Amino acid sequence: MKKAPPFHLAIPVDDLQKARTFYTDTLHFTEGRSSDHWVDYDFFGHQLVIHLDENSVSAPSQSSIDGKNVPVPHFGVVLPWDIFQSFADQLKQKGIMFAIEPYIRFKGKPGEQMTMFFYDPCGNALEFKAFKEPDQLFAS
């Protein structure tokens, strides 16, 4: 499989400093360019930009997957298995409140994966996952 090019994702935050502290100090993402209204980050080789939107109001909902209530909308990345485990351990040590604790989804089935969900301080839901067999990313 050919490596995909980096993607760009922009999300609204209602408190730029609170979000900046979370993405920089808690998640340890490297900050790139910034202004008084936005900050971009290295998001595992992709570009994540947090944009100040003081009027941002999300109306979160959930979707049932594998018996869990998955936050909708959400965003995240697929990580290698070992990096996922290390990142999950770091988050636990930081005291992250998980919406869905790290666990193995679809165990023993095509697309077996580790996944976890949590929220940033502005209410954006994040999902990180890793596939036991990376070539099963789209397996059914």
- Domain assignment of residue 26, yes or no: yes
- Contact (CB, 8 A) for 115 and 100: yes
- Domain assignment of residue 24, yes or no: yes
pLDDT, tens only, 5-39: 888 999 999 999 999 999 999 999 999 999 999 99
What is the model's pTM? Answer: 0.89
The total domain count for the chain is 1
Report the alpha-carbon distance of residue 75 to residue 112 in Å, rounded.
19
Domain range for residue 96?
8-53+64-136
pLDDT for the residue 84: 97
Which of 31-35, 44-48, 65-69, 91-95 is predicted with the least confidence, judged by mean pLDDT? Answer: 65-69
> Percentages helix, strand, coil for the chain, rounded to the nearest 5?
20, 45, 40
- Domain assignment of residue 58, yes or no: no
- Domain assignment of residue 13, yes or no: yes
Q: What is the mean pLDDT of residues 32-52?
A: 96
Indicate which CATH number applies to the domain containing 48. Answer: 3.10.180.10
